Structure 1
């Protein structure tokens, strides 16, 4: 009896030791990829219920495609590229893996010199680079009434900075509001996707923007996961 008891006790103990070893070497559950969305009212979700804004809709879009991701809403209404630069560093936490930068619309509305906007965006990308954070830069296009020189300088800063910092690029925040391959839509054609102010997208407009932006964000996630 003593021998049987001893053998049984040892067997139970040995199984416990093996199980403990397995648990010790089992990989920890992967943390979700954290993306900070640095932007203005377009990012913040101005004029919309929280769940209809860009960040919640983008998070839902990514989750539906199997991505374990946390998107932090760092959009501030009225923010310019200067405001974005002033808070870029403290917007990035220790767990931040990537950043979406969508700024410049308010610079346009205020007619700010594109050279100034460019320096600010350059500074934001430097902050991300120093933090080891991958970036998706979302551009804007100036309207023609600013004059050809202003438009050329403003439109060029996004692709040129993306190339300089090896950042991903979406040429225009509003790309999703026109049919693939179509010319930029006239304001009247976009009205059904916009709120009454004609500046901010409505729920359907945000959904279309997310659908166009989403594949680039997936590439951003792949880059962040590879680092």
Structure 2
């Protein structure tokens, strides 16, 4: 009986430590303006190593990507990588280009449905935009992320860039987070990824150390 319990525990531990995470994002996750190893996605991979050394982080982020572009690319990515978790960090370029927030919401919903149909868990990183197109458009844009999260029961980080201005700031273009801000992006992402990957964060002192330096 004890041997059976031990084998079951080992199998459960093994499956928990072999998670694969697909990051489907835009320039913010593609480490625009810096070395890939400086971006938050690479930092995330490094964070998983102590307890989930067999885990994979696939960064499928593309600078300039819109929600429509992500939707069109996702089926092939799911087939190629068979991820356990899909992080959707898209929509910012829709807002910067003044595209329809409603169309963006439908694209996000489609990506979430595709993710679940593949057997993976979706996670959504929300975005806000400057008021260039007026307050009505700005509010409508921001509301879509919350609507998607509530209606489809998806873990949501409401504003992925939350705290960036105060901690690290932006590059000279005023749009893309700086190298110094990447640990904060990681912490923001971990607010929704941590609960999904509890074994990968168990006893990970690096989390506390990173928080102390942000």
Q: Please, what TM-score do these two structures have when normalized by structure 2? A: 0.79
Deviation, structure 1 residue 175: 1.4
Match of 2:19 among 21, 28, 33: 33
Name the structure 1 match of 2:32.
46
The 1-side partners of 2:190 and 2:163 are apart by 10
Tell me, yes or no, if the aligned pair for 2:157 and 2:191 is still in contact at 8 Å: no
Structure 2 distance, partners of 1:83, 1:95, is 19
Query: Secondary structure of 2:46's match?
Result: helix
2:212 corresponding residue in structure 1: none
**Which residue does the alignment assign to 1:112?**
99
Q: Could you tell me which residue of structure 1 aligns to residue 75 of structure 2?
A: 89
Please give the root-mean-square deviation of Cα atoms over the aligned residues, in Å.
2.5
Partner residue in 2 for 1:146 = 133
2:20 is paired with a residue whose SS is strand
Measure the CA separation in 2 of the matches of 1:211 and 1:94.
25
Instruction: For 1:1-227, list aligned pairs within 5 A.
Output: 29-30=14-15, 32-64=18-50, 66-68=51-53, 69-92=55-78, 93=80, 95-177=82-164, 185=165, 192-222=168-198
TM-score (norm 1): 0.75
Offset at 1:43? 0.9
Which structure has the bigger radius of gyration?
Answer: 1
Does the Cα contact within 8 Å between 2:109 and 2:148 map onto a contact in 1? yes
Does the C-alpha gap of structure 1 residues 216 and 67 become closer, same or farther in structure 2, counting only changes over 3 Å? farther
Displacement after TM superposition at 1:94 (Å): 5.5
Q: Whose helix proportion is higher, 1 or 2?
A: 1
Unaligned runs of 5+ in 1: 1-21, 178-184
Gaps of 5+ in 2: 200-214
- The corresponding residue for 2:206 is none
